[in-house]
Amino acid sequence: MEVQRINLDDYVQTGEGGTALTYTHRNGRTLAKLYNPGFEADRAREEFITARTVFELGIPTPEPYRMVTDGVRNGAEYELIKGKRSFARIISQEPQRLQELAVSFAHLAKALHEKDADTTRLHSYKQTLLRFYQEKNLVNEEFRQKALSFIEQVPDTPKCLHGDLHIGNIITDGQRTLWIDLGEAAYGVSEWDVGIFFTMMHMRSAQQADFLLHMTLEQMAAFWDVFCPSYFGTTDPQRIAEATKRLLPFAAAKAPYVFDMAYHKPLPEASQAMLIQRFG
């Protein structure tokens, strides 16, 4: 599949995330997402193919058009959704809508996780994580063994996963609500998605929360408190506590993989020591 060279003079930078920058074409019709230097070309290619597959499966998402490079960074160009805002951005600008959007996000995530996946075109998230721990030496041996033991006993459910589920990765223009950043889409049990979302909504750095989601730590905790009963379909405190506890080892197993993808280095030992307790 051909990678096309673009001239950034034709674009204006309009976004910044943990792993990439986004640029809007001056024609007002497309958006280029270029990953940070060091993000492998093969990885960018795989993510584009996955995003294209998800679009063709009928999951609501902007259409991925082509793979692109500026000569240094690699990425893809997508349909531009004019006037779009992420749920995170809306909450930062209209905090009174937090409860409404938390309930909506729960219903949309549930619908995504109930959709049958095409297992011939999407990869197994379980197998991706198994390969990560088997092929890379980025965690201590105790963490690796506990993670592998946990992952191996997780079922490989053929249902859709976003791969990077959070409220910065869902947008609306007031007419359509669309998932974005689906390059990590896969199939498996929903806890792979919801577990890492739990971690994000309980991060400890106010500065990072503002950078990634434009929200305060208090807003993120409040969002989770509304999302959780809506997603799991219960207001019973014991059942919510049990559901939340079930997410913890999924989040722990996924954290080193996400950290490597974002920062290209091992998860700090202090973080490993904290997360390893979640495997029980």
For position 192, what pLDDT does the model report?
Answer: 98
Residues 32 and 119 in one domain: no
- Mean pLDDT to the nearest integer, 172-183: 94
Q: CA 168 to CA 87: how far, in whole Å?
A: 6
| Residue at which a domain ends, from 57, 79, 101 | 79
Question: What's the CATH code of the domain at 53?
Answer: 3.30.200.20
Residues 143 and 36 in one domain: no
Residues 117 and 48 in one domain: no
| Residue at which a domain ends, from 27, 46, 79 | 79
Residues 133 and 226 in one domain: yes
pLDDT in tens, 114-157: 999 999 999 999 999 999 999 999 999 999 999 999 999 999 99
Residues 106 and 239 in one domain: yes
Does residue 97 surpass a pLDDT of 90? yes
Does residue 57 surpass a pLDDT of 90? yes
Residues 126 and 249 in one domain: yes
- State which residues form the domain around 42: 3-79
Q: Tokens in use for 84?
A: 């779009």
- Mean pLDDT to the nearest integer, 163-183: 95
Q: Tokens in use for 24?
A: 């809007």
Residues 244 and 129 in one domain: yes
User: Is the full-model pTM beyond 0.75?
Assistant: yes
Residues 210 and 248 in one domain: yes
pLDDT in tens, 194-224: 999 999 999 888 998 898 899 999 999 999 9
Residues 234 and 172 in one domain: yes
Question: What's the CATH code of the domain at 220?
Answer: 3.90.1200
Closest to 5 (Cα-Cα) out of 86, 81, 74: 74
Residues 43 and 112 in one domain: no
Residues 73 and 89 in one domain: no
Closest to 119 (Cα-Cα) out of 205, 53, 198, 49: 53
Specify the number of domains making up the chain. 2
Residues 57 and 127 in one domain: no
Does residue 39 surpass a pLDDT of 80? no
| Residue at which a domain ends, from 79, 114, 147 | 79
Q: Tokens in use for 51?
A: 């995003």
Does residue 1 surpass a pLDDT of 80? no
For position 208, what pLDDT does the model report?
Answer: 87
